[in-house]
Each structure stands twice: as C-alpha cells, then as structure tokens.
Amino acid sequence: MGSTRTTGVPTKLTQGSQTKGGIGESTLRPDGTLKVTGEFAYSSDMWHEDMLWGQTLRSTVAHAEIVSIDTSEALAQSGVYAVLTYDDLPAEMKKYGLELQDTPVLAHGKVRHHGEPVALVAADHPETARRAAAKIKIEYRELPLVTDEASATAPGAVLVHEGRDDEYIKHVPHPNIVHRQPIIRGDADEAAKKADVVVRGEYTFGMQDQAFLGPESGLAVPAEDGGVDLYVATQWLHSDLEQIAPVLGLPEEKVRMTLSGVGGAFGGREDISMQIHACLLALRTGKPVKIVYNRFESFFGHVHRHPAKLYYEHGATRDGKLTHMRCRIVLDGGAYASASPAVVGNASSLSVGPYVIDDVDIEAIALYTNNPPCGAMRGFGAVQACFAYEAQMDKLAAKLGMDPVELRQLNAMEQGTLLPTGQVVDSPAPVAEILRRVKSRPLPPERQWESSEGADVRQLPGGLSNTTHGEGVVRGVGYAVGIKNVGFSEGFDDYSTAKVRMEVINGEPVATVHTAMAEVGQGGVTVHAQIARTELGVTQVTIHPADTQVGSAGSSSASRQTYVTGGAVKNSCELVREKVLELGRRKFGTYHPAWATAELRLEGGKVVTDGGEVLGDLVDVLEDESVEVEAEWRHRPTEPFDLRTGQGNGHVQYSFAAHRAVVEVDTELGLVKVIELACAQDVGKALNPLSVLGQIQGGTTQGLGVAVMEEIIVDPKTAKVKNPSFTDYLIPTILDTPTIPVDVLELADEHAPYGLRGIGEAPTLSSTPAVLAAIRNATGLELNRTPVRPEHLTGTA
Amino acid sequence: MDFLRPASWEEALAAKAEHPTAVPIAGGTDVMVEINFDHRRPEYLLDLNRVGELREWEVGADTVRLGASVPYTQIMENLRTELPGLALASHTVASPQIRNRGGVGGNLGTASPAGDAHPALLAADCEVEVESVRGSRLIPIDAFYTGVKRNALAADELIRSVHIKKADGPQQYSKVGTRNAMVIAVCAFGIALHPETRTVRTGIGSAAPTPIRAAAAEEFLNAALEEGGFWDSRKIITPSIAKQFAQLAAGAANPIDDVRGTASYRRHAVGIMARRTLTWTWESYRGNGRTTEGVA
C-alpha cells in the first residue's frame, strides 16, 4: 500500500528516552499525547483512494426463519457495487467462532438474535450503502424464544442450535447448554454438618458492555495475488486470521493483517466483527472496502459480559471458619458460543474466591439463548462470581456478628493453599494483607459537600442535577477482595512470539521489537521498549506495527500480555544479547580475558562485566551487522479441568485486588455517589508504575459502572436490546468517578518474567461488590442484583 | 435534502413560508442526532445560524426576551439573577460542548417531555414569541405543549424568542438521572415563588406525555400559604403543608415505565423533588438561603 494513496495506517513508533527508560520506570506512552490532542489515527480514520463503504444489514427480530431475501432493489441503486448474502459466500466454510465454529458469517435460513448480520452492501458512499441496505427486503417467520434457563431447558424447548457436533455436546445435560463444569472437592454434605451458621443467596448480574472507545472498524484492500490486506482494530490478529482465511477460501498467507489504531477493547474485540465482511466485499468488488460501525451498531457488533444468576450457600463455624460452599452459576451465553466455555471454566474454578474452603460442590453452566451473544469481558467469569461470594461473606459476617474484613482475613488463602481444583497456589497470595491495607487507610471526612455557607452538589448524590443539598444522604462503607487467573487456562497452548533486531543506525545502537501484540491500551508499546532497554542496554527502541508477518502474540486479554508477550520480548532480547556477545567475543575476545570468563551485560550502549568494567561499545561490536531473533515463548503449561470433578492444574498465575468503597446514598431518591474506592493490589513487579496505576484505576471505575449504572437491557418478551446507545447505556463520567487511592504491592512470582503479575482485570472484580457492600451498609437493604438502580433503593422497581 | 441558509430573520420566515416542512436547525444538538440515526429525513433543513439576533437577549423591566438560539452556557453565565431556575436547568443539560451549542428554542421546537428547560419555563411563567410572514404572536407557555413532541406552532412559524418573567422570588430546579452528570432526565421538577402575586408555580418534566404544571399542588399551596399568612410572616413552612404539596405534585405526574425508569419511581421522585425544592426556595424567601456550589 503506497503511502501517497492512503492515510491513517499505522507507522513505526520510535521511542527515545531522556532517562534510562528501562523496566520499573514510568515511561510515557508514545501515543498518549496524540490521543489526548485528537491526533491519533483510529482504525475508523483510515482512508484509501477509490475505497468503498461497507454496510451490514442486521436482523430486526431475535429468533426467526428467513423465508426470503430480496436484494434486487438494493442492487439497482446507483453507487452500489455489491450486495452479499449467505448464498454469495465463496468457501465451503461459512462459520467462524473463537472456541466453537457456530457463528454464521451471514445468517443462513435463520437468525438467532436481535442484530445478527444477514446481508452486506458495498457502495461508493456510506449513506448510499445505508440506504441500499434498507432496501433489502427480508421476510421473517418468527420462532419461539428461549431467554433464560427455565425456557432453554424446558421440555420441548426450541433448540438454538440443532445438530450440535462440538466437543462439549457430549457432556452437557441439554443441547441449549454450551458447556458445564462441575467442581467437587471434599464432601460438602458432611462438612455442612459442622456449620453453626449457614447463609444462602440468589444473585443476579446484569449484562455489561465493554463500551470501548472507537467502534469496530477496518479497511480491507484486495491484493494483486488474489489475497487481501486487512487493517483492523482487534485484540488478537492471529486468532482473527485463523477464522477469516477459511471462510474467504484463502490460505492464511494470503490474508495479511495489520493492527490499526485501537481505542480500547476490554474483551469486546476478541470476536470477529467486520473483518470477514470487509474482506468479502473487497474481494468481490476488487476495491478497498472500509466498514465503520457507529455506536448504535457497535452494541450489536460485539459480545457483552455474560449476565448471570448465581446461587450460593456458605457455612461457617461459630468462630468464623468456613465449613463448606455450594454454588451454581448460570451464565447466559446468548445465541452463539463465543468464549462461553472458557468463561464457564473461570467462573467455576474461581467461584470460591480467595478463600480456603476444603469441601465444595460447584457447578457452572453457560446457556444458549436468543439473547445477544456474550463472551469475553475484563474479569471473564470471575467478575460475576466475585459479586456473589463477596455478598455472601458480608451476610455471613452479619450473621456471625463478626467484622466483615476479619472474617475474610480469617479464611484468606495464602501461598500453599489448595484450590478446589486441587491446584496449589505456588506464588505469593497476600489476600489478608491487601484487605488490611485498604481497611487501615483513614476514611475520607464525613459530609465533604458541606461548607459553612451551603453545599457543593458536585460532591453529593445526583451531582449537577441538584437533587439534594444533604437531605436523605447516608454514608456506607464496604469491602471486597477477589481472585483472577492470569493467562489462558485449561491446557491452552498460550504462547507469544517476539522478533527483536539490534543494529547501528546513525552511529547509535537501536533495537527494533516486532510482535503481533494488539495494543488496546494495556501499555505493551511502552513495556516492550522498556524491556529492550533493560536487556540490551540501548536507548533508542523502535516498536514495529503489529501484524501477521511475525508469529502470534496471543490475545490482549486475560491480563496476559505483559507476562506472555513481555516474556517473549525478554526472551528474544536475551537471545539477541547472546548473539551480540558472541559477535563481540569473535571480534574482541582476545583483547580481554573477561570476554570469556565474566558474566557480561549490555548497558548504556556498551558491553560491561558484572563488575562494571567496560569491554567495548555496541557500535563497534555490531558495526554494520544486524542481529535478529524471532522466537516463541511459553509460560508453564496448564491442564484441562476434569469434566466430572473439575480437578486439574488449570491456571498459570493469580492476581489479587481488594477494595474499600465509601459511598453516600440519597436514600429517598435512590441516587448514589461513590466518594472513594481505595484499592490494594499485588502486581509482582510494576514494570511501568504509571501504567499500573492507570490499569487499576480504570478497572476500578469499570467495576463501579456495573455496580450503579451500566446494563444492557434486553426485553424478556422479544429478546431485543432496548438501550443500544450511550444515551441510555450509561457509563461513569468524571463526576461519578471517585478518588481512587492505590496501594501497590510487589511480591515477586518466581515463575514469571521479572516476577510480574498480570494486573488488568483483578481491580474490576472487587470494585463492584465493594460498592454494593457500601450501599447495603448505608441503606440496610439486601440488594442481590447489580447494577443497583434507584428503583431498587426506593422500593419502586 | 436541501439545506436552506437564510442570511436574515426575514429570509428565514420567507423560507419557512415557502417550505413549511423545513426543519429549523440551530445548535443541531437534537436535530442532527435524529438525522444521524435516520429517525427523520426532512426534505429541507433551515439553518438559523446566520440569524444573529436569535443569539441575543434583552433584559427588560419585567421580562427577559431570550433569543431562541442563546446557548445554555450563556444563560448559566449571564442570566443567573434574572432567570435562576432556567440557569439551574441549563447546567443539567448534557455536557459543556452541548451547552455551548444548544438553546431553549431547540427544546421548545422538539417539545420532548424530557427537555430540561421546560419545567423551569413553566415555573417561571413565560410566553413563546413565534413569527411567520403573516405576523408575530405570543403563545403562553401553558398553551404551548400540545402533545408528545408536539407544540402550538403553525407550519410556517419559527420560534423567535421566549419572554420569561424575571424572577421576583427564589426559584429551584432538580432533575433525577442515574448518573451524576450528562444524563437525560428520568424526571425533573421546577419551582418558582412569585411573592409579587403571592403564587407558586411549578413544572414537571419527563413524567407525563408533555411537560406539565402540578396544578392541584400549586392551588393547594397557594391557598395554604395565603391562609396561614406565610407570605407576610415568612415563617417556616409546616411539614404537613410540604408533605401534601409533594403528594399532590407526585399525583400530577402521569409517567410511563421505560428503559430509564419505572412510572412508580418517577412519581415517587417527583414528590421528593417537590418537597425539597419547595423547602429550598421557601428558606431562601425567609432569608435563610444557602449557596450551592457547582450549580449554575
């Protein structure tokens, strides 16, 4: 693609650093200033000469047979280059999916959820494409809906997917259940006899949207070799590639993908959205095709967080020791599987939370329904469980007359604890300590909104809407702690690849790092440069745009990229360093015995002994040679969970965060102001402390959102989405976001690169239940669902 | 779609006469959303941005003549004394960017029950100045809202300004949304004390098919204040009076269940806001007014 004919495609980012800029320093994001000044090129900003605009026509009903599709009027419209339906798909493979290939590229005979793609249009103007799409006539014959567990598993229930032949169908009790994972350990029935108190609860978790910046968009450019170049904002290039190539009927090498500017992801870009559609239109028309969803379409264009029903029973002895736990977690996966099986694995294996309970009886399932498909979102199954088990802990503490933090600390897991899966927690697990830290913080002063002359509404529930000047306002404090796994679990080959090159440019040693890691805001662009500086002793590091010309980096999810692709970059840097030292030995080994005998490092552009003696300049060692290594790197392998007992070393690493929420509730109007959300989290090693802080504060805020406002509302009668816009799907503004003091612990995990711990998700877990606990504390209400709406606090639901 | 760009008010009126289906657009904060979502596709857009006088206001002896396009930000910054209720309402409109563009003319033109300005306009009392090539007339605000998103304008008329009574007593405005800023009203309540006429006026938003006044609540309160000699004694309002006022205000609401809230909650919230805003305004009237930071 010539640079004169396109704009907005990614370019290399070279990062210099005034300071050393290695790991542990808060180096700044190279795209940070661009983003805050509006200069950053998002994937929707790309432009190509002669490009067409693609438009998706989506189903207006949730479950229906497609009786007929008439595209003639759309095709007849001037400016329209192509209209595609299922019948136009070029390859034998017509479905895709992250775990099960159950999702049609375009609906085939049937639609299974509101907003399912049915037809595509390419036209020379986006408005023309929209108009033409509206002219496609589709006749539906509506089918009965399944919308929850009862309707999905009722006798004679309509099957969302008939003739399933996936690997999960063999062990699920009903074809409308995607996957089921029980975990049995000890004897919960026997242990329950030792319980002096038992608490039970039924909890509901609403459907949360990732609400990332930059709706789905990308540009597909047909190539002369019959292949296609795809520029797209995504979360995992190679996973996309594996799903795209077969349905295009192309070998993977003919589908060349480059990551374009991503706003954010939070799991919402793990599944395919417009990728295949744009490629199909580009290959059909022979012209570049750009597709950009607007926010409305985006709500239909990606999966959401699984809404869940959770049934829990905990027992404890009089002195607060947990005796047993039974739980059943029902996740609504919607019409297609997406990441449901893995979400089930997480929900079940992390359902006890960060506590020691020897006797458990656990079951988690994900349903197929006609609701919107649900899949990956920050926290991935662990979020829903944490909301429920933390509510249980508070209930139990109340029943025992114990302090809720003390009860948690008394039962907290630690290094060496056995999980319900039989896996030993073999790195630090400072659960009691992070709880102690958030609890020991001084509380924010009471009635901060009050001054001698009046009130500051910005500090009060309702904020600028001027609903209270202090009337009805009650404070509450709540605590929560959570456990999240890091990396892909259950035996997945969770590797990453890094290509690192070292050469002399303009008289200075420069490292280039090339990975396929999707930078979705997690900070890999900074961290990779920091790792290269630390390992290779250079100042200048160039980060190559992420593409499929290098091996897979795995997904930018599961809190894994700093661990896994960071680990791959470190590993490749070490291999490059060895080669550079070998080069040095060949050239200069005879000049100094230390070349052969000492531990050598690269530091400040020089080869240095561990004693600090300089042996030579990298510039002289390298001269005009470049040293390059591309290598895969893996963390410790994991195992699948046994399908009957749930036993198995399924996880790689764990991440722990605790929150204390301080809220003020207008008890008459049911409005909530979160005053402070203090967090303590163990991060193993903070590679970039500023990024760590940003991740923790962002995750905390996303958890707050689903506590008090964020929910996609699906009409149970029609399975249609009722609020697909930011007008009615509310996310926190800065006035909803409290002070978030953060206490970072760095207890190294000896198994991980630099001792680091994946950090992005854990704060999203405990934030929500902490806010709920604080609201319960303020109001005395039970509150078994999230988000809490004013109706729930005022008895007007 | 044709885009009409009159250079003057007279040209605008002529264009509207010639194309009665033309949709006037000023800040575009409402019309453009509708167009972008394809909710409407007018044949003509009538751009009023070149008509400078629509962005002007005049403070007269008794009223403020507020140009239809005066942005909410200007109202907040310049008319807090004369139009305190509307200034408070303006501050709850969307985001700073929207407040820099949007004005009262748009709220009136759209006539959505959720428009933030309506309860304040109803409470303050005002007349909407509308004009066509046939001439100009003043529509009392009580007669302006005729149905869901319908108003008393004729097809050839444009909104020129609003003549709003200058505050002769304290005014308040409250709005409930499920977020602490930048939120569409679940419901809203405006109140204005008019000591000169010894009356209280109210406005309710998002709790009925149109913006409404709580007529029975006003009548009750006016009578109770008169009977008890409250206007002269300026004594503290009896809790039972405030309570009954609140109940009658809630009773005036005729809300629906929707994705933003239940009817039951809206009715409840209108009552709470009525009681609180009455208390705030009455305390101000008694000379015990307290400042509120962060609003208007």
Percentage of the residues of chain A whose pLDDT score is greater than 90: 96
Q: What is the pLDDT of residues A91-126, one digit of tens each?
A: 999 999 999 999 999 999 999 999 999 999 999 999
What local confidence, expressed as pLDDT, does residue B278 receive?
Answer: 98
Task: For residue A47, give the nearest of A5, A109, A95 by alpha carbon.
Answer: A5
Buried b / exposed e along A683-693 (16+ C-beta atoms within 10 A)? bbbbbbebbbb
| Ranges of CATH 3.30.365.10 domains, chain A | 149-209+304-382, 416-486+650-794, 495-634
Give the model's pLDDT for residue A13: 62
Residue A310: what pLDDT?
98
Residue B288's pLDDT is what? 85
SS3 content of chain A, % helix, strand, coil (to 5): 30, 25, 45
Report the C-alpha dihedral over residues A135, A139, A142, A146, rounded to 10 degrees. Answer: -50
Q: What is the model's pLDDT at position B274?
A: 98
- Record: contact B174-A728, CB cut-off 8 A: no
The contacts of residue A661 (CB under 8 Å, 6+ apart) are A477, A478, A479, A480, A674, A676, A677, A767, A770, A771, A773, A774
DSSP label of A598: S
Of A467, A709, A796, the CB nearest to B262: A796
Model confidence over A138-148: pLDDT tens digits? 999 999 999 99
CA atoms within 13 A on the CB side of B131: 18
Q: CATH 3.90.1170.50 in chain A, residues?
A: 45-143+215-262+269-301
Instruction: Given CATH 3.40.50.300, say whether it is the number of domain A45-143+215-262+269-301.
Output: no
Nearest CA among A187, A170, A179 for reference residue A342 = A179
CA-CA-CA-CA torsion sign (A611, A614, A617, A621):
negative
Convert the pLDDT of each residue in A710-756 to its tens digit: 999 999 999 999 999 999 999 999 999 999 999 999 999 999 999 99
**Is there a contact between A671 and B273 if contact means CB atoms under 8 Å apart?**
no
Is A18's pLDDT higher than 50?
A: no
Could A458 and B294 be called an inter-chain contact, meaning their C-beta atoms sit closer than 8 Å? yes
Q: Do A471 and B269 touch (CB under 8 A)?
A: no
The CATH classification of domain A149-209+304-382, taken from the options 3.40.630.30, 3.30.420.40, 3.30.365.10, 3.60.21.10: 3.30.365.10
Closest Cα in chain A, distance from residue B223 (Å): 26
Q: How confident is the model at residue A16 (pLDDT cuts 50, 70, 90)?
A: low
pLDDT for A63 beyond 50:
yes
Please tell me the predicted confidence (pLDDT) of residue B289: 79
Out of 3.40.50.300, 3.30.160.270, 3.10.105.10, 3.30.390.50, which CATH number does the structure's domain B171-285 have? Answer: 3.30.390.50
pLDDT < 50: residue spans in chain B: none
pLDDT, tens digit (0-9, with 9 covering 90-100), for A532-576: 999 999 999 999 999 999 999 999 999 999 999 999 999 999 999
- Specify the CATH number for B1-47; select among 3.50.50.60, 3.30.43.10, 3.90.920.20, 1.10.1780.10: 3.30.43.10
Tell me the CA distances in angstroms from A779 to A147, A432, A476, A775, A782, one per residue in order: 32, 27, 8, 6, 9
Contact A735 B174 (CB under 8 A): no
Write out pLDDT tens, residues A216-233: 999 999 999 999 999 999
Q: Around Cβ B177, how many Cβ atoms within 10 Å?
A: 26
Q: Does domain A416-486+650-794 have CATH number 3.60.15.10?
A: no
CA B207 – CA B265 distance, rounded (Å): 10
- A455 Cα to chain B: minimum distance (Å): 5
Is A791 within 8 Å of B273 when comparing Cβ atoms? no
Cβ(A21)–Cβ(A539) under 8 Å?
A: yes
Placement of tokens 């290269």 in the chain: A532
CB–CB contact A735 B180 (8 Å): yes
Instruction: Locate the chain A residue with the closest alpha carbon to B189.
Output: A467
Write the CA distances from B33 to A213, A296, B29, B145, B238, integer angstroms.
Answer: 19, 12, 7, 22, 46
Q: What percent of chain B has pLDDT over 90?
A: 93
| Best to test chain B binding among A135, A294, A466, A469 (most B CBs inside 10 Å) | A466
**Contact at CB, B38 and A469, closer than 8 angstroms:** no
Q: What percent of chain A has pLDDT over 70?
A: 98
Position A224 scores a pLDDT of 97
pTM of the model: 0.97
Contact list in A for residue B172 (CB cut-off 8 A) is 466
Residue in B closest to A735 by C-alpha: B180
> Which phi and psi (to 5°) does residue B6 adopt?
-60, 145
Phi, psi of B226 (to 5 degrees): -65, -50
Residue A1, pLDDT above cutoff 60: no
Q: What is the pLDDT of residue A15?
A: 62
- Please give the Cα distance from A494 to B271 (Å, whole number): 58
- Chain B CA closest to residue A796: B265
Q: Taking 60 as the threshold, does the pLDDT of residue A293 lie above it?
A: yes
Across the interface, whether the CB atoms of B294 and A456 are under 8 A apart is answered: yes
State both tokens at A726: 């930011």
A87 to A106, A120, B123: CA distances (angstroms): 9, 12, 61
What are phi and psi for residue A551, nearest 5 degrees? -65, 170
Token reading at A168: 């999960």
CB-nearest to B268 from A462, A734, A796 is A796
CB contact under 8 A, A453 and B291: yes
What is the C-alpha separation between A333 and A148, in angstroms, rounded?
10
Q: What is the mean pLDDT of chain A?
A: 96
A367-386 tens-digit pLDDT: 999 999 999 999 999 999 99
Residue A19 in this model has a pLDDT that exceeds 70: no
Taking contacts as CB-CB distances below 8 angstroms, the residues of chain A near B190 are none
User: Which chain A residues are closer than 8 Å to B290 by Cβ?
Assistant: 453-455, 469
| Residue boundaries of the structural domains of chain B | 1-47, 171-285
Extract the tokens encoding A461.
């529930």
Does the N-terminal peptide bond of residue A787 adopt cis geometry, omega within 30 degrees of 0?
A: yes
**CB contact set of A43 (below 8 Å; sequence gap of 6+):** A8, A214, A217, A218, A219, A231, A232, A233, A260, A261, A262
- Side chain identity, residue A777: N
DSSP-assigned letter for residue B61: S
Partner residue facing B91 (CB), from A464, A736, A789: A464
> Cα A514 vs. chain centroid, distance in angstroms?
23
Beta-carbon separation of A466 and B174 below 8 A? yes
Can you give the pLDDT at residue A730?
97
- Chain B CB contacts of A713 under 8 Å are 259
**Closest by Cα among B189, B173, B223, B196 to B285:** B196
Using the predicted structure, report yes or no on whether residue A765 has a pLDDT greater than 70.
yes
Cα(A767)–Cα(A386) distance, rounded to whole angstroms? 10
Confidence of residue A499 (pLDDT cuts 50, 70, 90): very high
CA distance A791 to A794: 5
Instruction: Grade residue A4 by pLDDT with cuts at 50, 70 and 90.
Output: very low
- Nearest residue to A769 via CA among A397, A341, A211, A387: A387
Point out which residues pair with A476 in neighbouring strands.
A663
Query: How is residue B186 written in tokens?
Result: 């679940």
Question: Under an 8 A CB cutoff, do A797 and B265 touch?
Answer: yes
**pLDDT given at position A230:** 98
Helix residue spans in A480-593 (DSSP H)? 524-536, 561-588
Q: Which of A122, A464, A394 is nearest to A277 (CA)?
A: A122
Question: Any idea what DSSP says for residue B238?
Answer: P
Fold of the A495-634 domain? Aldehyde Oxidoreductase; domain 4 (3.30.365)
Distance CA A587, CA A622 (A): 10
Q: What does the buried/exposed string (b/e) look like for A270-302 if buried means 16 or more CB atoms within 10 Å of the residue's CB? A: bbbbbbbbbbbbbbbbebbbbbbbbebbbbbbb
Pick among A464, A664, A729 to test the B interface (most B CBs inside 10 A): A464
Chain B residue with minimum CA distance to A725 = B37
Question: Regarding predicted confidence, which is higher, A3 or A669?
Answer: A669
> How many CB pairs below 8 A link A and B?
126
Q: Which site among B80, B92, B179, B260 would you substitute to test the A interface, given the most A Cβ atoms closer than 10 Å to its Cβ?
A: B179
